Chain A
Amino acid sequence: MISQFFVLSQRGDNIVFRDYRGEVAKGSAEIFFRKVKFWKEDGQEEAPPVFNVDGVSYFHVKVVGLLFVATTRVNVSPSLVLELLQRIARVIKDYLGVLSEDSLRKNFVLVYELLDEVIDFGYMQTTSTEVLKSYIFNEPIVVDAARLQPLGPAAIFMQGTKRMPGTAITKSVVANEPGGRKREEIFVDIIEKISVTFSSSGYILTSEIDGTIQMKSYLTGNPEIRLALNEDLSIGRGGESANDYRSSYGSGAVILDDCNFHESVRLDSFDMDRTLALVPPDGEFPVMNYRMTQEFKPPFHINCLIEEAGHLKAEVILKVRAEFPSNITANTVVLEMPLPKYTTRASFELEPGVTGQRTDFKGANKKLEWDLEKFVGGVEHTLRAKLTFSQELHGEILADSKEI
């Protein structure tokens, strides 16, 4: 049960504000924003997603730079509210096509309409785009997606979330095509987050894959869809311990540690032939989330060498090798490396004669970025970066890289 819901812009402006129960004072948005903005005096830490000020609990999630906030006075389930906020953001995105401050402001009447149906007197009613469709009458005003800065694939990981800005699909689920004819389309994305830690000697310390099968359906008539997964898939390890002997390694079997499914998925034949049957609801939703820690060959191998080149200078040599066969090409590979806070300048030196590579030093969050547009399998690339510091260097760690 929640009391209020509001959306704030990065500057703290109210974009949408809805009070459901009138239990929390009106100034809550301001209180909230001040608290979040100045969480710790040094500004080095982010406010946790849930906190309590004077008996009012504030929940917030950040989606594309907007703050979706709910307040309550009762002791509710935190994951329930956080999940709800996330879901509201997704429903709004389903309707507007693009979720941004601009599109919200243009469509706020529609958003209010949605909010009225999603929550009544603080109780969740429905968040299914499908059901909501029959209650909603405002037409979305489509914001031109092209004008928006495309979110690079790396942006997803900077926010630490796996929710993709559905690659090419930024059109509204409900809006009709200008031509009047609706296209029967369904998009299925498989997004995997691979986390690998290498030791300085190149040995793999930890490896983990978090994946999700994401679907966005524009189909009319809600037909049933079958999704066949790898037949050698098995879930859960036989033994409980993480260190048990993995006999199946190399045999091609895929062992998921655990997975969960969207509520529309029926698992009747999953045990037999690994097929998921589902009637996809409208809008974007995760069909299945999974997690595995089985050993695998990481797609990239990264090597990093740091040399101190004088008092306030250092040279970083980054080497990355694609471990996949040469007939596969990876697109838009981004390597990021956090640098010490006191890095003031960085100059880069790419291999002579390469094209389609960009390097950047992000002064604001002290990050080195290296974009490789095309990455052919089996090839190795090197980047030399000269860093200048305002303080003495004490050594640093290399974080993992990401690939889409």
Chain B
Amino acid sequence: MAPPAQSQRSPSPSQPSGKSEVSDLKLQLRQLAGSRAPGVDDSKRELFKKVISYMTIGIDVSSLFGEMVMCSATSDIVLKKMCYLYVGNYAKVNPDLALLTINFLQRDCRDEDPMIRGLALRSLCSLRVANLVEYLVGPLGSGLKDGNSYVRMVAVMGVLKLYHISASTCIDADFPSILKHLMLHDSDTQVVANCLSALQEIWSAEASTSEEASREREALISKPVIYYLLNRIKEFSEWAQCLVLELVTKYVPSDSSEIFDIMNLLEDRLQHANGAVVLATIRVFLQLTLSMTDVHQQVYERIKAPLLTLVSSGSPEQSYAVLSHLHLLVMRAPYVFSSDYKHFYCQYNEPSYVKRLKLEMLTAVANESNTYEIVTELCEYAANVDIPIARESIRAVGKIALQQYDVNAIVDRLLQFLEMEKDYVTAEALVLVKDLLRKYPQWSHDCIAVVGNISSKNVQEPKAKAALIWMLGEYSQDMQDAPYVLESLVENWDEEHSAEVRLHLLTAVMRCFFKRPPETQSALGAALAAGIADFHQDVHDRALFYYRILRYNVSVAERVVNPPKQAVSVFADTQSSEIKDRIFDEFNSLSVLYQKPSYMFTDKEHRVPLEFADELGNLSIGEAANNVVPTQMVEENDKDLLLTTSEKEETKGSRNNGSAYTVPYDGSSTSVFASQAQIESAVSNPTLAGHSPQASFAIDDLLGLGIPATPAVPSPPQLKLNTKAALDPSTFQQKWRQLPVALSQEISVNPQGVAALTAPQALLRHMQSHSIHCIASGGQSPNFKFFFFAQKFEESSNYLVECVINTSSAKAQVKIKADDQNTSQDFSTLFESALSKFGTS
């Protein structure tokens, strides 16, 4: 709709103010309204065009409403169309006038020409005037039964429009069930597709209040519907195909043969020229095979080529979207793409948003075999004329350096950057050298020699300056003139605008003082004086703190400022793996581009249609085993998720450990479980399969609330474990701290187990089936860390296990703590046997 009434907008000189023109038009329209002279339609067309062009540029022409309606009594379809456009635009702001149009629109709805019937119906539904809904029901009802598919297509969307104006009218007229019937029986695929869109929207919105609606929504992803749509998928338009594919991702097949059937059917969709179809297909493939590790890997191999073709064949905008998805995949499976690194080389004429992504890809795919080539290429970019990209490339080189074991060549390159004498290159390189030294202190000699040659006057950017000052302080014993450089920096204290730099300067001078006291003493005095007088609170406080601690005890001060340092092994990851998983669940959506799960950037009311996954996660929180999910719980779940994220960050901090732990009862990972559990339950309960997801009972078990997922637990007779053990994370932590280690041993893991352990989740599910539950897990290949717990059958005696599995050595370090120390040996045997079966089943 063109921008309507904007009369308050100040008329710009380039646009006609409109007042006189509008009244002019009004007169002319009035003259033509009654005329039946030949050629009158042509002059009407011209006038209508003028009206609409005014409307587009923002002139208020709503005063012509009456005249326009009068003129619309015509058989000329072009005129009619323009009139509909006008009416649709202004009806909402002029509800009284809109009533005028109802009459002729209703008449047109019964026209002989199906085009006119369709158009009139569409305009009628687009009026968006609440008090006119009563006039919609009749035409819509006959529209849905119309013999012409165009009219039906329009009518289906009309139902959705009606729902948005007045939901109750729509439901009372029983339109949803008519749509459902149409969806399953109409011969025209576009009608089917529109029904699907409309039903998804209506039932998702209704699901929060009506059980029936949520059942209906579940029914959309039931086997018959999905199969019906999939079998006709080639008849659908490419856009409708995307819609169907999106629905299929929510479907949970009952067994693996079904999965393969679906994948074979959709295989050729990967060769579609429309990137949206390809990505939607890929999402289906990835979701279907989540639980089948090896097939999942094959899928990665299979989708590689189509994705790379999409990157190079579309417009830069499309490549951007595809590259973002590639990036996500690369993060999950770097090795798959490591041989294709050349595809991610930048071309000079690409827009910077594409280049930026490609740089990230290059960083991600770098491994031992291709690092040299990639770094060489990146170094070329550093000399690029495009400065932001040059900066990014240097940062990328640094990132690769930090993630590789063999850094010799890279360090040399970075040092060359320092000598390039371009201020921005030097600045970026300095920051990187600092990070590098924190991780690889053994390189300090080479680096310091070069850094020492850099004049601090050439470094202006705060971050770079701070990095340089940090190095001056840290390595002052190796740098001849460190105290003097620092001294001159202190002298220019007032000219230093960045508080960060001043803070670093204070610390550096302190460190330097302890290493070379006589040379630094005066600089330290000046720095402390300037620092205490500083207006910035942090700088002031730190200076005061140093001053006092020096007065109190110099050796204590030294221990505080210059403690023996350990090299940083892993820099904190900015994004938790949990969020990454959640983004992966939302593959082929904006989440991937923004690198945020959808709850972070969409409003609640706009979130519902896409996210079934939420509710699967949500089920685990719901206590009753019902399959009706009130949608307001989605919101709670989101809060919960946020909570667990922050909690997790705390645990991460307190354990002082770089790897992230996932607490299994968050939304994203549970949804994975849920689908797994559904598959299991579907196998044991064929009657339930294909109906609405019955995830709940299995999930409850996951939390230890419900009945067991696998009824026959193969446990040795001497020790029976409670299959529905429950323990909350805080109790676990508390117990873990209190209890002594009862047993500590090394178990070797069989090769199949190692092969299956590509992600922590695989083991969790396995141990679950042995009544050993996981409370937290994390890590990446080759090191995985798990915390398990189990409970003795019919007793509240707990066993806590810390298990670190190294897949490269195929060994597991197990520490067991138990409430009842006597049975810990038995439990250990049980645990070992359970672990040994992993991967063989």
Binding site for B on A (CB under 8 A): 1, 14-23, 26, 29, 40, 44-50, 52, 55, 57, 60-62, 73-80, 82-86, 108-109, 112-113, 116, 120-121, 123-128, 135, 137-138, 157-163, 193, 195, 197, 206, 208, 210, 212, 236, 240-243, 257-263, 286, 288-291, 293, 338-341, 366, 394-397, 399-400
Contact = CB atoms under 8 A, between A and B. Distances in A.
B85 to A, nearest CB: 6
A77 B153 contact: no
A79 B245 CA distance: 14
Given A74-B610, A195-B347, A394-B422, A57 B242 contact: no
Interface in B124-180: 128, 150, 153-154, 157, 160-161, 164
B321 A79 contact: yes
A74 B602 CA distance: 6
Contacts of B312: 193, 208, 210, 291
Contacts of A127: 237-239
Given A60-B317, A161-B315, A55 B339 contact: no
B694 interface: no
Interface stretch (B49-57, B404-412, B649-657): B49-57
A172 B349 CA distance: 31
A397 B82 CA distance: 55
B239 A80 contact: yes
A83 B1 contact: no
A394 B347 contact: no
In this complex, the interface size class of chain B, counting residues with CB under 8 Å from chain A, is 35 or more
A17 B3 contact: yes
Interface string B339-375: 1101101011111111000000000000000000000
A210 B313 contact: yes
Nearest to B89: A19
Given A86-B315, A108-B52, A109-B52, A44 B609 contact: no
Residue with the greatest number of chain B CB neighbours at <10 A, chosen from A84, A124, A257: A124
Interface in B1-26: 1-4, 6
Contacts of A14: 3, 56-58
B606 A163 contact: no
Nearest to B57: A14
B272 A258 contact: no
Contacts of A240: 301, 339
A85 B320 CA distance: 14
Given A14-B57, A135-B150, A123 B352 contact: no
A88 to B, nearest CB: 12
B61 interface: no
Interface in B238-282: 238-240, 242, 246, 270-276, 278-280
Contacts of B313: 162, 210, 212, 260, 286, 289, 291
Nearest to A127: B239
Given A135-B150, A257-B309, A258-B305, A78 B349 contact: no
A393 B301 CA distance: 45
A277 to B, nearest CB: 15
B161 A121 contact: yes
Nearest to B279: A79
Interface stretch (B585-593, B668-676, B779-787, B799-807): B585-593
B594 interface: yes
Contact of B276 (A83, A121, A289): A83
A18 B1 contact: yes
A243 B370 CA distance: 12
Contact of B160 (A78, A80, A121, A288): A121
For the complex of A and B, the 7 pairs showing the least CB-CB separation, nearest first, are A124-B239, A258-B305, A80-B276, A49-B317, A289-B313, A48-B353, A399-B348
Contacts of B112: none
Contacts of B227: none
A109 B49 contact: yes
Contact of A263 (B115, B161, B273, B301): B273
A45 B273 CA distance: 29
Contacts of A23: 606
Given A127-B239, A263-B272, A77 B161 contact: no
A307 to B, nearest CB: 18
A260 B239 CA distance: 17
B609 to A, nearest CB: 7
A78 B607 contact: no
A242 B352 contact: no
B315 A61 contact: yes
B194 A123 contact: yes
Given A77-B589, A158-B349, A206 B342 contact: yes
